[in-house]
Amino acid sequence: MPPMNVLVTGASGLIGSALVRSLAEAGHGVVKLSRVSAAGARPPGPSGPSATWDPSAGQIDLSRAGPLDAVIHLAGETVGRRWTAPRKQRIRQSRVAGTRLLSEAIVRLPQLPQVMLCASATGFYGDGGDRWFDESSGPGAGFLAEVTREWEAAATPAVQRGLRVVHCRFGLVLSLGGGALGRMLPLFKVGLGGRLGGGRQYWSWITLEDVLSFLHLALRCQALSGAINVVTPNPVTNAEFTKVLAGSIHRPAVFSVPQFAVELFFGEMGREALLASCRVKPAKLLENGFPFRWAELDRALGHLFGRTRGGS
């Protein structure tokens, strides 16, 4: 693939920071969309293109970004903490208003990018128990499902201008560098890990390595558009995830957190993000022959902890 000039938002996050490195290693140019601070825009550096924005104020400046071939939009307030009313507003604002602001700015550029990859989430489907979801499934109920539906709709200006827009519905992204796994590990390492509630809720997951492979593929694969479930074909229950994770680091997992305690400590976030069951199939990736390197949880975690070579 010829080198591309790629605008990236959320470049300091778990996925974004790894993506920026991998894009540069592949020979692509990267323009980070930096937030404006209270003192003004971040210095653009000694040379090269730059771009700034303040989504909360509805301000964005792409005038120095140069011609863009692609946009990868990953920015958004974390959902992994207890949801207060102000935090819920920030979650919605950062995703919905931020995506709309970026989409409207992109379509005003003198040269349109070829593609826009937008972060989304499997939270779109809500709590489904044992039911399978694929990209043809409708939205579920709850705050996460509502926000995700609005989040994806906010890219409509780009879609209407004819850009190929991909809504990347990420599941649980596994990396030792942070995210949910990074938050779980300290407890598991001291033998205090265990299932949440009854442990029957499905968690759909994917390694960061496979996420990066997907994003590189989505930049050039015309067949990938619209909503794409970015998860492995093998979701597991929370109880199975707990067992495999504990076994991977040779620790017991005898503790469990009752459902009432999860709800008491985490509130609405606990019910929707930790106890909800989301059993998702990556139908479009399978149709397009995406080469999952780590499709089985035991091998994926073994790889992350340095005990497995090769792929699934």
Q: How confident is the model at residue 310 (pLDDT cuts 50, 70, 90)?
A: low
CA-based torsion, 291, 120, 7, 159: positive or negative? positive
Give residue limits of the domains in the chain: 5-175+205-232+280-290
Q: How far is CA 99 from CA 48, 214, 256, 257, 274, in A?
A: 25, 21, 38, 36, 26
Q: How far is CA 289 from CA 18, 174, 214, 217, in A?
A: 24, 22, 11, 11
Q: How confident is the model at residue 106 (pLDDT cuts 50, 70, 90)?
A: very high
Q: What is the pLDDT of residues 264-287, one digit of tens each?
A: 999 999 999 999 999 999 999 999
DSSP state of 37: B
pLDDT of residue 129: 96
pLDDT at 5 over 90: yes
Domain 5-175+205-232+280-290 has CATH 3.90.1560.10: no
What is the distance of C-alpha 92 from the center of its chain? 15
